[in-house]
Structure 1
């Protein structure tokens, strides 16, 4: 048998130690980032936004994944569609605003005009032999998971999206994402590789010492702990949390709210995890007083005391669904050492700011947490640049989900480039 030459990326993939962080080039190298864009962001279902981003016919929202600009539109029949944001004439970008409302999509360069189904309906001076039907906008695969929007740039997207939707959909559906509006959006440019942002999210090992706001409503115990290393106070709280999980899961599921953990973070191509977790204090929402931030509850809920449904999807999102509002997060690479973290707060579409909710109260916990996490990601990025950096071991008790994220990433890269 011939020994085929290996590429630098294949060599790096072989170097990954199970249960450890990645070799430094995975966080630093422009060549690795280029492979990430081609094989992870170019071939998988990527979370970009929510249906309320395009709530009405004619609404357009632009999402950029690397060099690819995508126009998501709601057409006249109410269907959500996605197209490459590129005119079929000479390639000008069609829509330059992040969000807008249009009757048709009109190129600002030569006024080629497309309807909301992507058909070219007007092009001056092209001669009698020109066929408009051959020059419609190039479509992008798009799926809505109970109002969460995912796109795929591959010619043939992964087919297991349906499996994720079948199992995850019943958890999300009661929160009725489609009947919400975006109350606030925050964009942060984090000073780190996108994988460091995702690794940071996938654990709460760091929460107790870094997130004083977040740990008011959120139990860090829900993300793993080592009981043998805890003092009496922490052991008592961990025991209280365990009792709450058992009691609340039974109650919530009796009310028709699926709650128990599903974990497919490194066992599917379109990988995900979910669980409904108890909240501390009043147990209603991610706020500093743990009470509901919005008076107008979501869906058909009669009470806000429903814990927090946490949802994770690979490679780039996590979400928290409360009884009164929803917080969604997406991460997109900007270059090898910078990432865009986009956070949206959703409330009932009829909720009125200043009457039903106070924006500062709604957003303060996660705005503070995002700033704290951004600084931590930057510290990790600085460390990865050091000649002293070497992959370190993950905690088996608190960093299990980090390990699963890296397992998924390495497995998907190896599937596409070999190992």
Structure 2
């Protein structure tokens, strides 16, 4: 522990982490305990469990969590472990149940987690003492977060206070999952998150993604611009301000809120304009789905970006949404899970073409996975030393790392105090 504290304390501001943070099994274990064991994690959406009895299983390190909608329509989460002899309870990622039945000895739990049937346990056996162990779960306008800690961070209420108005117009609860894609990236989870927190690499690596994006929306070095480029940057700033004014007048909160590294449950949001026809993240920048989300009547609602620490980012357009979660699988492997959401009444082949809907991010995710793999390969080499972040285009990567270092040091300080 002392070595980890020293590495965290002496981390050079504005630089990448030392190699062991991306490669060492012991640091990975600490990440799983502190970051993924004690913080709010994005794991899915309410449309993953649209009806009573629907269950979604999420595996996080050695833990498995069953998220379900109970018979009264409430979202609940439980450790996916039978209280008899510890058998895994739900085996499929998605299923629908009347009750939860253990395949081993047929113990039966209702959708509130209460044990309702257990044969041959004797007269003194108290079923009420053997219900499923609950896991904290919160829905943020349809985005589902869980926390494995006994006492979760209390600032989720502040996150909800700020973000609910931004998300509400898109009405995620009235959507469906049109497609889900799981991609195993060959890198440490922090490399995946660092890659997401900047677009310095986008121009050279993401020909599909950059079609509807304005380059000046993701940072630039003013001193490097020529006179024409400075004029374009000024025009973008004016357009952004005008768009924010118009969107907010129409009931769409849009202006930037950045709390990435000054809250335990760090987050950031902003609605940005889209280029071309300006309707969606598609190759032709036109809407991918004819049925718009929520009560929106104009597809030109920009792209609402929403990031949360430690493991998610999301994009909400007028016609569809794309949500992303990152779950560590090992020091050098991570699961990137992507879901595309459309209006619940949208019909594939009629209201949207699936290939068109998912095309941009399917290509972008694979490109990013390759880049993460290049980084993982590099940090494992003797020649790797921490390198500097761009102060103009990678400032949000620095905020992610600053948040990570702060959270790790806070926990280690608490551990020392108790000891």
TM range (shorter): over 0.9
Measure, in 2, the Cα distance between the counterparts of 1:120 and 1:232: 71
Task: Tell me whether 1:260 sits opposite 2:255 in the alignment.
Answer: yes
Shift of 1:148: 0.3
- Taking the TM superposition and a 5 Å limit, the aligned residue runs for 1:191-270 are 191-231=186-226, 234-270=229-265
8 A contact 1:253–1:259 mirrored in 2: yes
Tell me what 2:112 maps to: 117
Tell me what 1:3 maps to: none
Tell me what 1:141 maps to: 136
Task: Tell me whether 1:108 sits opposite 2:103 in the alignment.
Answer: yes
Greater mean alpha carbon deviation, residues 188-197 or residues 227-236: 227-236
Counterpart among 129, 133, 136 of residue 124 in structure 2: 129
Task: Tell me whether 1:26 sits opposite 2:27 in the alignment.
Answer: no
Measure, in 2, the Cα distance between the counterparts of 1:264 and 1:354: 40
TM normalised by structure 2 equals 0.97
8 A contact 1:51–1:178 mirrored in 2: yes
The 3-state SS of whatever aligns with 1:222 is helix
Task: Tell me whether 1:350 sits opposite 2:345 in the alignment.
Answer: yes
Counterpart among 299, 306, 309 of residue 314 in structure 1: 309
Shift of 1:223: 1.7
Measure, in 1, the Cα distance between the counterparts of 2:24 and 2:232: 43
Change beyond 3 A, Cα 1:88–1:225: same
Measure, in 1, the Cα distance between the counterparts of 2:156 and 2:345: 31
> 1:375-416: per-residue Cα shift (whole Å, max 9, x none)?
000000011011111111111100010000000000000001
8 A contact 1:15–1:23 mirrored in 2: no
Tell me what 2:59 maps to: 64
> 1:329-383: per-residue Cα shift (whole Å, max 9, x none)?
0001000000000000000000000000000000000000000000000000011
Shift of 1:235: 3.9
> 1:154-200: per-residue Cα shift (whole Å, max 9, x none)?
10000000001001111011100000000000100000000000000
8 A contact 1:176–1:298 mirrored in 2: yes
Counterpart among 300, 304, 315 of residue 299 in structure 2: 304
Tell me what 2:369 maps to: 374
Tell me what 1:152 maps to: 147
Measure, in 1, the Cα distance between the counterparts of 2:216 and 2:270: 13
Shift of 1:218: 1.6
Measure, in 1, the Cα distance between the counterparts of 2:207 and 2:47: 31
- Taking the TM superposition and a 5 Å limit, the aligned residue runs for 1:18-97 are 18-97=13-92
Task: Tell me whether 1:362 sits opposite 2:370 in the alignment.
Answer: no
Measure, in 2, the Cα distance between the counterparts of 1:407 and 1:150: 22
Structure 2: gaps of 5 or more residues: none
Measure, in 2, the Cα distance between the counterparts of 1:301 and 1:224: 29
The 3-state SS of whatever aligns with 1:188 is strand
Tell me what 2:398 maps to: 403
Measure, in 1, the Cα distance between the counterparts of 2:24 and 2:205: 29
Measure, in 2, the Cα distance between the counterparts of 1:151 and 1:219: 34
Measure, in 2, the Cα distance between the counterparts of 1:399 and 1:230: 18
Change beyond 3 A, Cα 1:232–1:184: farther
Measure, in 2, the Cα distance between the counterparts of 1:163 and 1:342: 26
Measure, in 2, the Cα distance between the counterparts of 1:233 and 1:211: 24
Change beyond 3 A, Cα 1:352–1:232: farther
| RMSD across aligned positions (CA) | 1.1
Change beyond 3 A, Cα 1:176–1:106: same
> 1:6-38: per-residue Cα shift (whole Å, max 9, x none)?
622112112310111100000000100100000
Measure, in 2, the Cα distance between the counterparts of 1:38 and 1:142: 18
Shift of 1:233: 5.8
Counterpart among 178, 182, 186 of residue 183 in structure 1: 178
Shift of 1:234: 4.3
Tell me what 2:162 maps to: 167
Greater mean alpha carbon deviation, residues 14-23 or residues 314-323: 14-23
Structure 1: gaps of 5 or more residues: 1-5
Counterpart among 260, 265, 280 of residue 285 in structure 1: 280
